[in-house]
Copies of this chain bind each other. A is one copy, B any other.
Amino acid sequence: MTTNRQVLIEEMPKDRLTLSHFRVIEAPMPDPGAGEVLCKTRYLSLDPANRAWMQGATYRSALENGQVMSGFTLAEVVSSQDPAFKAGDLVECDGGWQQYFTKPGRALTRRDPRTPLSHLVSVLGVTGRTAHYGMASLGQPKAGETVVVSAAAGATGSIAGQIAKLAGARVVGIAGGAAKCARLVDEFGFDAAIDYKAENLFTALKRECPAGIDLYFDNVGGTTLEAVLFRMNLRGRIICCGVVSQYDTGQPAPGPRGVPGLIVTKRLTMRGFILGDEPELVSLADRELTTWLDQGQLIVAEDILDGLETAPGGLIGLLAGENFGKRMVRVS
């Protein structure tokens, strides 16, 4: 009988995340109890939020030393003691960084198969849905508006920017490196891209957003948010999706200068959100994303690593921004 490979949290990071914070082990195969479902991980989603979960309790409880690392998974049912599921079913849940796991049926959400299967983790997964929920439902970009997206080459940002383009907005992406910026414009249809590593963000935003910024989709926080705040138009909207600049540290930096001074004088609205508070908006996201995808109106970038043991290094690299689009691990 086969064993179950798992990645444990060896020790919670106090500052930057390194490989030494993880340990790969071979555990016995889990044994499903009454009402439980045995699942085989197909894809493991790597997300910047994985690191944020290590900073303490947020919208979920904090992680702890010695536990299997948490992570969102697309999995296949191997055997089931819950009549609602049968072998071969495709499900999603927080299965963690392991090859096999058991869950009560109520913890699983069924997904319809799709080709490629990875789209259920990227554009039709948490990040794509988050992009739609934040950009389309909350941000509501309008034709002629200027929209800026940070971490624009990431899984969420690359979809969020395209959604704003579909609404007729001028879309400017912020990303690290010339290659990412070139792809954003040439392949993904952004109107402009700013390489924050290569030039002064204040100057670049002035050049690329001559009419100011009406809507900012913030994935990074920190000094990027600060620079954008100065260029926001009166009554501009800021959708706070994530703060990736502050995740991989034990001591988050102070917030940007001028918050909330600029919020007052520019009459800005900043709104934070987490996917899932409004289930009907998640359904709307699925419907619209699927339609756009089927009509060829969305380009999906995926960055797929192979094998569970690539997960620790994959997450560390993700936090360093080495991916373009959705990073995930093909486990089986």
Interface residues of A (CB under 8 A from B): 52, 58-59, 218, 221, 225, 235, 238, 240-243, 246, 252-274, 277
Contact = CB atoms under 8 A, between A and B. Distances in A.
A100 to B, nearest CB: 31
B265 A272 contact: yes
A255 B252 contact: no
A257 B255 contact: yes
A256 B269 CA distance: 17
- Interface of A, helix, strand, loop or mixed by DSSP: loop
5 tightest A-B CB contacts, nearest first = A255-B255, A254-B254, A255-B259, A263-B272, A264-B272
A269 B269 contact: yes
A268 B260 CA distance: 14
A264 B269 CA distance: 13
Tallying the copies of this chain within the complex gives 2
Contact of A264 (B263, B267, B273, B277): B273
B273 A267 contact: yes
Contacts of A246: 261
B257 A240 contact: no
A246 B255 CA distance: 14
Contact of A271 (B221, B255, B263): B263
A137 to B, nearest CB: 13
Contacts of A265: 58-59, 272, 274
- Between A235, A255, A258, the greatest number of chain B beta carbons within 10 A of the residue's beta carbon is seen for A255
Contacts of A269: 269-272
Given A242-B264, A265-B274, A269-B270, 8 more contacts: A52-B261, A252-B261, A256-B259, A263-B270, A263-B271, A263-B272, A267-B272, A267-B277
A270 B268 CA distance: 8
A207 to B, nearest CB: 21
Contact of A243 (B238, B264, B266): B264
Contacts of A258: 252, 255
22 contacts: A59-B265, A221-B260, A235-B277, A240-B260, A241-B264, A243-B261, A243-B264, A252-B261, A254-B255, A254-B256, A254-B257, A255-B255, A255-B256, A255-B258, A259-B259, A263-B271, A264-B272, A264-B274, A265-B272, A267-B271, A268-B270, A269-B269
A122 to B, nearest CB: 21
A79 B107 CA distance: 79
A260 B255 contact: yes
A262 B274 CA distance: 11
A289 to B, nearest CB: 21
A240 to B, nearest CB: 4
Contacts of A273: 264, 267
Nearest to A264: B272
A255 B260 CA distance: 7
Nearest to A238: B260
Contacts of A272: 260, 262-269
Contacts of A260: 218, 221, 225, 238, 240, 243, 255, 270, 272
A218 B263 CA distance: 11
